[in-house]
Structure formats: structure tokens, C-alpha cells
């Protein structure tokens, strides 16, 4: 702006001076407004410090400490007291940093994620209960299932008409008597899992109890995935006629899951696929010794340490027509086969 003014003092036209100075004539000729130093206007009805303290004392009183400002405002009006509008009460609370949840809520401590490590079978068991649909709507059977997290071996499965801690204790006693007492037993926070009967049994056996976090559904993944494998199978029925039918089906599922399937079962059940190392084999390497079932005595399971190999593809001879629609494979006509045989005979004579 100084250069523009100097050019004007030298009688240079405004348009030329603006172009030389690189400013707009409108900006250069605009007169700035004079500064006005006005004091902030104080409202006539501004609350004094004593009135603000009175509002805070009323809001934080034992009668209104758990109520919202709107409720405090209406209750004070019912009593014939007016301290300020709802917005004024909120403004006073904001200045005191009290605009938040005013009720006395319980503060739950943070829960640690359960982390269990098993280096061998028989160390950590996890169990859960799932519902099996009964013969009519609203009727369900309860399936108790316990699995070893190291070998994925189902160490026990019971089916009962009801769910209770007493039945869970009976299952645990039977499992511990066969497979031994583990170091840790993990479960969710169901009524049977947290019952006093189960807690007393595990305490007497000096077994560490582990539970999932409250309202967390994936802290017991091994049991949940096992139940999904059970219920998403093609052979899983929509309903069971009785608790005995449900128990028989669960028994067959446990045998299929733990052991390799025999050829007859593999032909009948499409989903009964063979795996290189079944849970029974992994579990037997630790606590069961050389215990085997009849279905495990197959040539494949006897060499479970071998890695599965892809099937060999048969080699196509040159004098055979290639199968398939692969354009890269050359096709030899009968005439070409005759020429090939003549060429082989010629080469044989030269070599001899």
C-alpha cells in the first residue's frame, strides 16, 4: 500500500499505479473502519456469584443429586422456588464441569482376557452346555461336552433332560476318573458352570477354575466351534424324539470326531473325511499311551506322521490321444502314428 501511495504522489494515474504496485484499486481506496473499543455488555439479569452457588447447592443436594436438571427444575417449581431456567442450570453445571452422568453408577473393574496355555494333553479342559431341540416346540435336551484344548479330544459328552450343577459334577467325576485330573478347567459364566457344587469339586481336586469375561461370547472358542461342527453337519436332525436318541447321536458324533472313520462310514457320510492326525491320536501321545479304538487300526493312521501327498497324475504316452480340452496338448492322428513308428524303426537300425 505504501508503494501505491507514493505513485499517486508522483501524479501517476490510479489504474497504472495499481498495476505497478500489484494491488487492487478497490482494496487501495477502501477506508478501514475506525476501531471501537467497547466494553462487554453485561446483561441486567446476570446471575451473581451467590445465586450461582445457590443453584449448585440445590442441584447437588441429597434430594436432587441423582436427578437431571429438567427434573430438578420442575420439582423446584412445584415447591414454589425459581432459581433459573433449565438452560441456566445447565450453564452453571458446565462451568463447574458437572455436565455428565449424575447418578451413582457401579464402576466395574476391567476384566483380563483369559489366556490358557497347554503344552500337552490333559492339562487344560474346556466345557460347555448346548441345547438340543426335543420332539415338540419348547422342549429341549441339554448336551454337556468337555474337550481337551491341546489335542481337541472330546473327553466326555453327556445328554440330560435338564441342566444342573449336580449333573455337571457327575460328568466331571467320570471324566477325571478315566483321563486324569487336569490343571485348569475353563468355561463360561453359566449357572451350572458357576454353581457351588462344581466349585467345591474343583476346589477339592485343586483344579484352577477359569471363566469367560462377562457378556463376552468368544472367550470359550473351542467349545463353541465344536458345537458348530456338531450342529452344522448334514446328518444333524432338526429334532430328537427322546433323550436316548439324542444321547445315541452325540455318542456317534464323538466317535466320528475323535477317531478316523472306517471305509463303510466314509461311504455313507459325505462329511466324514479322513484327516492325517485325529484328536484321539494326538491325545493318545500324551496320557492314553497306546490306547486305540478299532476304527483307528487302519494303514493310514498307522503312518500318521507322513504328510498327505497329492495323487499322482497318469502320464500320457506320445502315441496315445491326449484327453481333455487343453489346447497346449498335441494330438497325433493315426497317420502321424504310422510315421512315428517308421521313424522309430529307422533310428533303431542306425543305432544297431
Residues 186 and 246 in one domain: yes
- Domain boundary, last residue among 248, 263, 278: 263
Whether residues 201 and 155 fall in one domain: yes
- Cα 132 to its chain centre, rounded Å, is 24
**Alpha carbon of 189 to those of 127, 209, 216: distances in Å?**
11, 11, 10
Distance (Å, whole) CA 198 – CA 256: 29
pLDDT of residue 340: 58
The reply to whether 141 and 171 lie within a common domain is yes
- Residue 190: inside a domain: yes
Same domain, 252 and 140: yes
> Which CATH number covers residue 254?
3.30.420.10
Q: 148 and 60 share a domain?
A: no
Same domain, 146 and 257: yes
Residue 152 domain-assigned (yes or no): yes
What pLDDT sits at residue 161? 94
Are 144 and 168 a contacting pair, CB within 8 Å? Answer: yes
Give residue 296's pLDDT band: very low, low, confident or very high (50, 70, 90).
very low
Q: What whole-number distance in Å separates Cα of residue 326 and Cα of residue 314?
A: 15
For residues 152 and 256, state if they share a domain.
yes
The residue with greater pLDDT, 197 or 349, is 197
Q: Per the domain annotation, does 271 fall within a domain? A: no
The total number of structural domains in the chain stands at 3
Taking only the tens place, the pLDDT of each residue in 76-111 is: 999 999 999 999 999 999 988 888 776 777 788 888
Residue 320 lies in a domain: no
For residues 304-309, give the mean pLDDT: 45
Structural domain includes residue 305: no
Q: What is the mean pLDDT of residues 293-315?
A: 44
d(CA 210, CA 199): 11
pLDDT for 237 = 93
Is there a contact between 159 and 143 (Cβ–Cβ < 8 Å)?
yes
Domain match, 155 and 235 both: yes
Query: In sequence order, which ranges of the chain are alpha helices (DSSP H)?
Result: 2-9, 14-21, 25-29, 49-59, 69-78, 86-95, 165-179, 196-204, 221-231, 243-258, 263-268, 279-283, 299-302, 334-351
pLDDT of the residue at 138: 92
Is the pLDDT at 201 greater than 90? The verdict is yes
User: 44 lies in a domain?
Assistant: no
36-81 pLDDT tens trace: 777 778 888 888 999 999 999 999 998 898 888 999 999 999 999 9
Same domain, 79 and 179: no
Among 228, 263, 298, where does a domain finish? 263
d(CA 251, CA 245): 10
> Are 23 and 57 members of one domain?
no
| Shared-domain flag, residues 78 and 141 | no
Average of per-residue pLDDT across 225-242: 93
Distance CA 47, CA 274 (A): 82
Residue percentage of the chain with pLDDT more than 70: 73
pLDDT value for 268: 46
pLDDT at 334 over 60: no
Q: Is residue 208 part of a domain?
A: yes
Higher pLDDT, 245 or 292: 245
268-280: per-residue pLDDT in tens? Answer: 444 444 444 456 5
Domain end: 263, 288, 314, which one? 263
SS (H, E, C) 131-155: EEECCCCCCEEEEEEEEECCCCCEE
* 140 in the same domain as 253: yes
* Spatial separation of the C-alpha atoms in residues 301 and 295, rounded to whole Å: 9
Higher per-residue pLDDT: 341 or 157: 157
The chain-wide mean pLDDT, for the chain, equals 79
pLDDT at position 7: 83
SS3 content of the chain, % helix, strand, coil (to 5): 40, 10, 50
- The alpha-carbon radius of gyration of the chain (Å, integer) is 42
Helix/strand/coil for 287? helix
Q: Which domain holds residue 88?
A: 49-95
More confident residue, 192 or 16: 192
Whether 151 is in a domain gets the answer yes
Task: Please give the model's pTM, rounded to 2 decimal places.
Answer: 0.52
Mean pLDDT of 307-320: 46
Amino acid at each position: 500500500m505504501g508503494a501505491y501511495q507514493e505513485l499517486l504522489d508522483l501524479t501517476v494515474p490510479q489504474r497504472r499505479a495499481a498495476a505497478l504496485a500489484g494491488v487492487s484499486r478497490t482494496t487501495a481506496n477502501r477506508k478501514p473502519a475506525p476501531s471501537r473499543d467497547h466494553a462487554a455488555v453485561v446483561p441486567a439479569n446476570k446471575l451473581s456469584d451467590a445465586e450461582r452457588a445457590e443453584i449448585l447447592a440445590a442441584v447437588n443436594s441429597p434430594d436432587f443429586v441423582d436427578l437431571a436438571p429438567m427434573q430438578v427444575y420442575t420439582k423446584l417449581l412445584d415447591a414454589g422456588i425459581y432459581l433459573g431456567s433449565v438452560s441456566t442450570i445447565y450453564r452453571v453445571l458446565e462451568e463447574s464441569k458437572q455436565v455428565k452422568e449424575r447418578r451413582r453408577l457401579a464402576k466395574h473393574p476391567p476384566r483380563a482376557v483369559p489366556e490358557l496355555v497347554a503344552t500337552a494333553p490333559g492339562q487344560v479342559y474346556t466345557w460347555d452346555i448346548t441345547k438340543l431341540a426335543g420332539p415338540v416346540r419348547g422342549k429341549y435336551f441339554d448336551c454337556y461336552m468337555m474337550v481337551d484344548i491341546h489335542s481337541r479330544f472330546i473327553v466326555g459328552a453327556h445328554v440330560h433332560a435338564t441342566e444342573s450343577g449336580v449333573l455337571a459334577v457327575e460328568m466331571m467325576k467320570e471324566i477325571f476318573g478315566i483321563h486324569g485330573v487336569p490343571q485348569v478347567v475353563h468355561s463360561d459364566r453359566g449357572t451350572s458352570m458357576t454353581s457351588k457344587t462344581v466349585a467345591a469339586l474343583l476346589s477339592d481336586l485343586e483344579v484352577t477354575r477359569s471363566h469367560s469375561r462377562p457378556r463376552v461370547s468368544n472367550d470359550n472358542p473351542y467349545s463353541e466351534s465344536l458345537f458348530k461342527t456338531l450342529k452344522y453337519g448334514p446328518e444333524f436332525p432338526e429334532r430328537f424324539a427322546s433323550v436316548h436318541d439324542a444321547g445315541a447321536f452325540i455318542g456317534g458324533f464323538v466317535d466320528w470326531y475323535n477317531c478316523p472313520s472306517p471305509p463303510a462310514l466314509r461311504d455313507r457320510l459325505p462329511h466324514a473325511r479322513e484327516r492325517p492326525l485325529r484328536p484321539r491320536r494326538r491325545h493318545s501321545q500324551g496320557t492314553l499311551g497306546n490306547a486305540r479304538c478299532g476304527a483307528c487300526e487302519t494303514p493310514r493312521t498307522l503312518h500318521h506322521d507322513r504328510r498327505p501327498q497329492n495323487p499322482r497324475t497318469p502320464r500320457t504316452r506320445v502315441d496315445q490321444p491326449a484327453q481333455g480340452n487343453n489346447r497346449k496338448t498335441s494330438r497325433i492322428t493315426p497317420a502321424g502314428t504310422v510315421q512315428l513308428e517308421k521313424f522309430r524303426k529307422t533310428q533303431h537300425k542306425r543305432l544297431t
